[in-house]
Amino acid sequence: MLNRYPLWKYLLILLVLVVGLIYSLPNLYQADPAVQISSARSEAPLSEQRLAQIQSALDEAGISVSATDVADDGVLIRLAEADDQLAARELIGDILDDDDYVIAINLAESTPQWLQSFAASPMTLGLDLRGGVHFLLEVDMDAAVEQRLEVNASAMREMLRGERIRYRNTEIDGRDLTLTFINDEDRDRARTLISREFPDFDYSNQGDGRGASLVMTMTDQAVNELQDYAVNQNLTTLRNRVDELGVAEPMVQRQGPDRIVVELPGVQDTAAAKRVVGATANLEFRLEARPDTPDNEIETFSFRNDESRTADLMRDVILTGDSVSNANRSFDENGRPQVNINLDGTGGTLMNRATRTNIGRNMAVLFIEHNTRTTTVIEDGEEVEVREPYTERGLISLATIQSALGNSFRITGLDSPTEAADLALLLRSGSLAAPIYFVQERTIGPSLGQDNIDRGVTSIMVGLALVVLFMLVRYKVFGVIANIALTINLTLLVAAMSMLGATLTLPGIAGMVLTLGMAVDANVLIFERIREELRGGLSVQQAIHAGYERAFTSIIDANITTLLVAVILFSIGTGPVKGFAVTLSLGIMTSMFTALLVTRAMVNLTYGGKPVKKIWI
């Protein structure tokens, strides 16, 4: 019998439609503006009193709260008005005035319980739709290599001193580390000694006699490993820092060999975000040089707050900020900002060993910041950007060691409470393994986001209405079928995107609109073919059958080629282009499904197996 589907096919289609409906539904529930309070340390959950205090303060300020969800990891306060979000956060911040809580503005899902039990959730909105900042950071590999070489040089010097081999100078240039000796024998001994411990270098001798030097070049493999290590380490650090910033649903991701994307939805204060994300500050603890210390073991630094004051320090570092396990800002007896520091086990031992034997000497805290300066120069008639990394080192304190220090102590000498808080945060979250700099930045205000959503929705509605009208006029009864299919298509597309956790962006919406236009194509092909077969003198049932059958190859070929393009688009594209590609490819798949199966099922149900003389097409 022509144009009849077996029951299982109808059931299958029905199943897909039900699933599609369930997973697209959450998108109808608008997210609530909310303020999220989570404790930075898990042992300090928000007490009942504090919560009551917050609620009365919000009431007083005339901010209406629609719901308060208390969960293990924090409290979510849903607000009635989006405009109140910032004010509410400030109020709550005043009440919880310490480092123990992270307060973030957020958009909270309002999917009903029964839908959540299917694990259905709405599409995530992209930054262009909800506002926020997007950073693209690049890891400065040259600087990372230089840092690694400096660390190695320091260790090598220590080794040479231990073996009483005299060296004159160490020099770092690009990937080369050069040690100069007094004579050939010392150089040769040093080479045997060092090459055993440092396999990451290619060694070569240069000059002889008083100019005898050993050139060590980092191998390609070592550089690659360093790059991987540096990027991964930076990812971890950045995640920690972003968590400290208190942003809901942040994203920190590696992109390509040496780049990192950071997206902070809802953040408007870019300056603060950048200060924390991009900061490359670290600390070094060193002893002050003795008057009899040889010159090549001394480095001179000036104070951060007074350039003219300088101090001679030992070249060797006792420990760096990497050994810090916890840090907090507080104030000393005179109300000056200070940072309380706790060291990890090894750090504590190192500090103890260094201070125990040096009571009465001065210890310096050195603040180090890696920065890049970008200048534009004209080269071959073209403007070329030249990036020049530089490192600022400044003393923040120089204090006499009164007694052996252990795991915890405090440092003073900071300029402002903000600086103290930032430094504490940076020490807590860990330092960056290599300096990073910003290569791309986008800030999207919340008003633009709402605007984009409104416009996107309007254009989808209008586009849909126009297509529906067109199909009705042109294909009559079959137009109704095509229009139902189009609605189903849109539902399935939204469901698929929600299920995959795809992010909806503005180009994504454009992709949806475009899909709508092209989705009718398959139906048009089929319907035109049916008309043609009818004109050719086939009976109604035969014409419908032949129409679907013959349009099939065209539809498949045409859609597969478009799908190929969409997949390529996805693999080469970044950000917005990717969003567009995802929507387009999903749209192609759902439209093939609806055109080939759903409309066929509807046509079969309407006409199949009945003695039809004439159809409205």
Contact between 438 and another protein per CB under 8 A: yes
Closest distance of CB 113 from another protein, Å:
36
Taking the CA atoms of 57, 59, 65 and 70 in sequence, report the sign of the dihedral they define: positive
Tell me if 86 contacts another protein by CB under 8 A: no
User: Are 358 and 401 in contact, with CB atoms under 8 Å apart?
Assistant: yes
Buried (b) or exposed (e) across 118-133, using 16+ Cβ within 10 A? eebbbbbbbbbbbbbb
At CA 250, angle to CA 245 and CA 256, rounded to 5?
115
Residue 2 binds to another protein (criterion: CB under 8 A): no
Question: Which amino acid makes up residue 452?
Answer: N
Q: At what angle do helices 141-162 and 184-197 cross, to 10 degrees?
A: 120
CA dihedral 229, 230, 234, 237 (to 10 degrees): 60
Separation CA 304–CA 324 (nearest Å): 22
Interaction residues for another protein, span 576-615 (CB under 8 A) = 576-577, 580-581, 584
The β-bridge relationship of strands 124-125 and 503-504 is: parallel
Provide the H-helix boundaries in 280-360.
Answer: 345-356
| Residue range at the interface with another protein (CB under 8 A); choices 151-159, 226-234, 348-356, 527-535 | 527-535
Q: In the complex, what is the shortest distance from the CB of residue 251 to another protein, in angstroms, rounded to a whole number?
A: 18
Q: How far is the CB of 282 from another protein (least distance, A)?
A: 19
Q: Cβ distance 262 to 135 under 8 Å?
A: yes
The set of residues, in sequence order, having a beta carbon less than 8 Å from that of 525 and lying 6+ positions away, is 551, 554, 555
Burial of 443 (0-12, 13-18, 19+ CB in 10 A): middle
> Contact 77/65 with Cβ under 8 angstroms?
yes
Burial class (CB in 10 A: 0-12, 13-18, 19+), 542: middle
Q: Which is nearer to another protein, 151 or 560 (CB)?
A: 560
DSSP letters spanning 176-240:
EEEEEESSHHHHHHHHHHHHHH-TTEEEEEE--GGG-EEEEEE-HHHHHHHHHHHHHHHHHHHHH
Candidate residues 223, 235, 448, 605; the one interacting with another protein per rule CB under 8 A: 448
Site membership for another protein, residue 419 (CB under 8 A): no
Q: By CB under 8 A, tell whether 155 contacts another protein.
A: no
Binding positions for another protein, 107-136, rule CB under 8 A: 128, 136
Is 532 near another protein (CB under 8 A)? Answer: yes
For the CB of residue 243, give the shortest distance to another protein in the complex, in Å: 22
Q: Does 87 bind another protein (CB under 8 A)?
A: no
Q: Does 386 bind another protein (CB under 8 A)?
A: no
**110-118, 423-431, 522-530, 606-614 -> range binding another protein (CB under 8 A):** 522-530
Among 215, 311, 524, 605, binds another protein (CB under 8 A): 524
Stretch that binds another protein, among 30-38, 162-170, 392-400, 462-470 (CB under 8 A): 462-470
Find the binder of another protein among 5, 409, 470, 607 (CB under 8 A). 470
* Maximal C-alpha separation, the chain: 113
Per CB under 8 A, which of residues 543..582 are in contact with another protein? 546, 549-550, 552-554, 557-562, 564-566, 568-569, 571-577, 580-581
Contact between 206 and another protein per CB under 8 A: no
The neighbour count for residue 62, using CB atoms within 10 Å, is: 8
| Residue 275: CB minimum distance to another protein, A | 8
Using CB under 8 A as the binding rule, whether residue 369 contacts another protein is answered as no
Task: Please tell me whether residue 311 binds another protein under the rule CB under 8 A.
Answer: no
Residue placing its CB nearer to another protein in the complex, 297 or 441: 441
Using rule CB under 8 A, residue 315 touches another protein: no
Decide: is 378 part of the binding site for another protein (CB under 8 A): no
Quick one: 535 or 614, whose CB is closer to another protein?
Answer: 535
Q: Does 476 bind another protein (CB under 8 A)?
A: no
Rg for the chain, CA atoms, rounded: 34
x/- letters, 481..520, toward another protein (CB under 8 A): -------------------------xx--xx-xx-xxx-x
Choices 211-219, 285-293, 455-463, 592-600 (CB under 8 A): range interacting with another protein: 455-463
Does residue 474 belong to the site contacting another protein (CB under 8 A)? yes
User: Cα–Cα–Cα angle for 503, 85, 52, nearest 5°?
Assistant: 120
Which region among 113-121, 166-174, 209-217, 268-276 touches another protein (by CB under 8 A)? 268-276
Question: HSE of 228 in the Cβ direction (CA atoms, 13 Å)?
Answer: 5
